[in-house]
Amino acid sequence: MNNSISDIYQTLNILCVEDDEDVLDIYKDLFSLIFEEVLKSFQENDIDIILTDYMMPRCNGLEMTKEIRKQDSSIPIIMVTALESIDMLREAIDLHITSFLKKPFSASSLFSTFNLAVKSVIGDRYLLKEQTEKILYNHYQENLTFDKETTITKNDIQESKKFFNYNCEVFYKPKDILSGDSYLIKEIDENRYFLFIVDGMGKGISASVTAMLCSAFINYYIERVKEQKIDFSLDLLLKEVLHFIQPNLLEYEVLSANFLYFNKIQDELQYAIFSMPPTLYMEEGSDEVCKIRSNNIPLAPYTTQFNIDTLATSKIQKMITYSDGLNESTLEHDEEKLYTPFLKDDFKSASDMESFKKLFEERGFKQEDDITYIFLSQGQKNEKD
């Protein structure tokens, strides 16, 4: 046997099952165990190849193979036999016996038969190693991607969780590492804040890249406005976003998004909502849940104009704005039922994001898509928050 084959054998654990001492002497350079310890040895050791005699006193090689196949359906098994029974061969095929070694055999025929099994083991090892390395690499890339997503996602009030007299909290839960959702909470100055949620239509890399590009550009634009002391305008922002994002969209790609611009001095919320679920809000002293509905079609390569509407903010007690991953979650006890009809009631009952989150999760939801929502509520937060 050449050195390369010998080196490969040194990496394998080979279990030999034989009741004939003379034959065991032939196997002694490979591996040897008495038959009573075979199954125990197979269970307790990492065996690569099994070489077994067919005729043995307590049970034959096929009976032993049946027990082994209950635990391992693929390990190579070589059967040594002097029989050429058709029934035995049929049963051996059913049990996926790898190959046969006919008695009497020479050392060269033994190693020739073994080499076929060794190639199978080495091939499986190489494939497993390749798959393992691929999984590890993909996991590494996914972690980098998620780190990049969280870096691009900017929240200027992450520490205080407040602007004006609102507690402002975010729930962001991608379904996959490559999230089609992104959001921003940007402080323009002490009297003006901008909230943004984008949902890239579709799944995977394309939707994720588009959403991240949009968030990154808006963050850059607002920081430039602040540095250069340019007066912020939602109208100009939207024009710049369209100018930037449209050349980067695929032909049939669209974006849904919420653009919410809070101006305390003017006591107003300016909004442009592009095919997103309605933003819900309640005013002080009222039990009615109001809706801010979409006032624009989705952002697309052909979008040329948009609408901006306003809403007085001084009486708003609480508000929730969200991507469709929230309302389109299904309930685990009834996968055909969406969370949509319960959202309004849960929002009405909730005093803040934590209480809303608790109500939402108690429904036993099943996440179908990326979920992002921003919850605004008046009042003081507890010290622990």
Per-residue pLDDT, 2: 47
- Indicate whether 186 pLDDT > 80: yes
**313, 338, 284, 307: which is closest to 234 by C-alpha?**
307
Phi (first) and psi of residue 326, to 5 degrees? -75, -60
Confidence band, pLDDT 50/70/90 cuts, at residue 203:
low
Instruction: Decide which of 81 and 116 is more confident.
Output: 81
Class of domain 153-378: alpha beta
DSSP letter for 316, please: E
**297, 272, 276, 260: which is closest to 376 by C-alpha?**
260
In total, the chain counts a number of residues equal to 385
- Indicate whether 157 pLDDT > 70: yes
What separation, in Å, do the N-terminal and C-terminal C-alpha atoms of the chain show? Answer: 71
Per-residue pLDDT, 171: 92
The arithmetic mean of pLDDT across residues 132-137, rounded, is 73
- Chain centre distance of CA 160: 30
Per-residue pLDDT, 289: 95
State which fold the 3-128 domain adopts. Answer: Rossmann fold (3.40.50)
Per-residue pLDDT, 140: 73
Map out the domains of the chain as residue ranges: 3-128, 153-378
Confidence band, pLDDT 50/70/90 cuts, at residue 385:
very low
Tell me the range of 80-84, 122-126, 333-337, 379-383 where mean pLDDT is highest: 80-84
Instruction: Decide which of 312 and 384 is more confident.
Output: 312
* DSSP conformation letters of 182-241: EEEEEEEETTEEEEEEEEESSSSHHHHHHHHHHHHHHHHHHHHHHHTTPPP-HHHHHHHH
The arithmetic mean of pLDDT across residues 215-235, rounded, is 93
**85, 93, 96, 113: which is closest to 27 by C-alpha?**
113
Two tokens at 358? 């608790």
- Is there a common fold for 3-128 and 153-378? no
As a three-state string, the secondary structure of 326-343 is: HHCCEECCEEEEECHHHH
Two tokens at 325? 């991953």
The arithmetic mean of pLDDT across residues 120-139, rounded, is 71
Distances 22 to 26, 27, 101 between C-alpha atoms, Å: 7, 9, 16
d(CA 167, CA 165): 7
Per-residue pLDDT, 151: 78
d(CA 287, CA 309): 24
Per-residue pLDDT, 384: 41
d(CA 119, CA 99): 13
- Indicate whether 273 pLDDT > 60: yes
In tens, the pLDDT along 31-44 reads: 333 334 445 566 66
Non-local (6+) Cβ contacts of 99 within 8 A are 78, 79, 113, 116, 117
Non-local (6+) Cβ contacts of 95 within 8 A are 62, 65, 66, 69, 77
- Indicate whether 382 pLDDT > 50: no
Distances 26 to 19, 76, 177, 222, 380 between C-alpha atoms, Å: 12, 20, 56, 80, 83
Per-residue pLDDT, 64: 85
The arithmetic mean of pLDDT across residues 69-80, rounded, is 83
Per-residue pLDDT, 204: 66
